[in-house]
Amino acid sequence: SPGYKNVKQIMKERLPEKVFNLLKKIGEIADREKINAYVIGGFVRDLIIGRRNLDVDIVVEGDAPSFAKKVAKELNGKLHSFEKFKTATVTLPDGFRIDFASARTEIYRAPGALPEVDTAPLKKDLFRRDFTINTLAIKINGKEFGKLIDFFNGLKDIKEKKIRVLHALSFVEDPTRILRALRFAVRYRFDLGKHTEKLLRIAVKKNLFRTVEGKRVYLELKHIFEEENPLRIVNRMKEYGILKSISSGIIWDKRKKDFFERIRKVINWHKLTFGNRKKVNYPIIYFAAFLEGIHGKELEKLLKDFSIPEKEVDLIKNLIYRGKQLLKTLEKEKLKNSEIYNLLKSEPDELTLYIAAKTDKEKLRLKLLDFLGEWKEMKLAITGRDLKETGLKPGPVFKKILKTLKDKVIDGEIDNVYDELKTEAQKQIETIHSKN
């Protein structure tokens, strides 16, 4: 029987005030429209667990697009409706997004059939979901605001730290849930329920995973590589025998695991250093590492099966092939800092991070991070205009002088201060004049 715990207080304590008030407001609109509204899924799961998650999914027992229209109007938001799916999205003026969906209602009810009880549509909707921890809902209508609805023991499973499916056919209906189960297990440090684990093993054994459309496999893998610790998830995939149903060529040995662990470290360093200032596709670094070692033709086939956007395919290949080539040069030859700089300055950060993680040479790794954190960011304390003031005619020679100055700064031969740079520039200019 559904539990009726009230979580209003928890919402008040844990949610940003803005989000709390927003849910209250939507609940008031629902009252006015005489419609039941709930916030559901990952948002509720993470609220209870105490993990930040502001993906607001609202389910209404009724028509979501027309309800969302009312919300959009009232909150000055932009409405996007998908009539075919009975879903809608409202984007508020500050960019905050709210998704709306209709709980599946019985539209063609036989005349004279018993009326549905109050929460039947919601329950049916939640029953289609993957795991019990994802089936929690919170009613947001005014009077009942904060009422936790728990049809399938989701709260108990959160407390017991268990990932459990709702029924025996869950993995058969949607084999991507095999990967989702492992992802949630690692993220929350939960175990699989005993029965759930058995069902998962059966699904893997039956090779159900191979029947999934490549595009969906790719999206799930991407979700895995967006997590804090993909290494531990791939370890579990290996244990359960899932890697070989993705591709027989995937290598998962000590070296690859170390590679993954170092990717995690360099990504964390990069995030700490740059925050959100740089748009970097972090998951793709893991993805390229994951695929590295698969032979040419097989790799081409896999990338095609996954229907990965062309731009990402190019980046993946760039990381794998150019990465290998660059690392050969970098590990073998003792390059000057400026030479490393000139080798990498036009390449995407993803590539530098990839090779910084791939090498097991600690000194080289630190150099590569210096390149990203300092050299690549550096602005010279002298500009073309300063050179002009020395009486030199602007032209290609400016670029050459400035490049030489930058190289010297990176190599530690001079400091990046105006006077030193100016003196050095003058020296360069004299050399040029004496040559002519």
Report the interface residues with ligand CTP, using CB under 6 A.
Answer: 41-42, 55, 129-130, 134, 174, 176-177, 180
Q: Toward ligand CTP, which CB reaches closer, 208 or 355?
A: 208
157 neighbors 191 (Cβ within 8 angstroms)? no
What are the CA-CA distances from residue 376 to residues 302, 331, 341, 406, 407 (Å)?
Answer: 34, 20, 7, 10, 11
Give the shortest CB-116-to-ligand CTP separation in angstroms: 22
Total length of the chain: 436
Q: Toward ligand CTP, which CB reaches closer, 129 or 367?
A: 129
Give the shortest CB-94-to-ligand CTP separation in angstroms: 21
Give the shortest CB-47-to-ligand CTP separation in angstroms: 12
Q: Toward ligand CTP, which CB reaches closer, 181 or 369?
A: 181
Position closest to ligand CTP via CB? 42
Give the shortest CB-42-to-ligand CTP separation in angstroms: 3
Nearest to 370 by CA among 346, 338, 347, 401: 338
238 neighbors 246 (Cβ within 8 angstroms)? no
Name the one residue in this structure whose structure tokens are 């062309």: 310
What are the CA-CA distances from residue 161 to residues 49, 181, 295, 349 (Å)?
Answer: 10, 13, 40, 38
109 neighbors 98 (Cβ within 8 angstroms)? no
Q: Toward ligand CTP, which CB reaches closer, 31 or 174?
A: 174
Give the shortest CB-355-to-ligand CTP separation in angstroms: 29
Give the shortest CB-237-to-ligand CTP separation in angstroms: 16
Q: Toward ligand CTP, which CB reaches closer, 139 or 177?
A: 177
**Helix locations, 333-417, DSSP H:** 337-344, 349-358, 362-370, 384-389, 396-410
Q: Toward ligand CTP, which CB reaches closer, 134 or 359?
A: 134
**Helix locations, 33-167, DSSP H:** 42-49, 64-75, 120-127, 154-160
Give the shortest CB-155-to-ligand CTP separation in angstroms: 15
| Helix, strand and coil percent figures for the chain, each rounded to 5 | 60, 10, 30
If one counts every other C-beta atom within 10 angstroms of the C-beta of residue 366, the result is 11
Both tokens of 271, joined, read 């995030």
Strand 56-60 relative to strand 162-163: parallel, antiparallel, unpaired? unpaired
Q: Toward ligand CTP, which CB reaches closer, 49 or 313?
A: 49
Give the shortest CB-324-to-ligand CTP separation in angstroms: 32
Q: Toward ligand CTP, which CB reaches closer, 174 or 305?
A: 174
Q: Mention every residue, 6+ apart, whose C-beta is less than 8 A from residue 54.
A: 16, 19, 43, 96
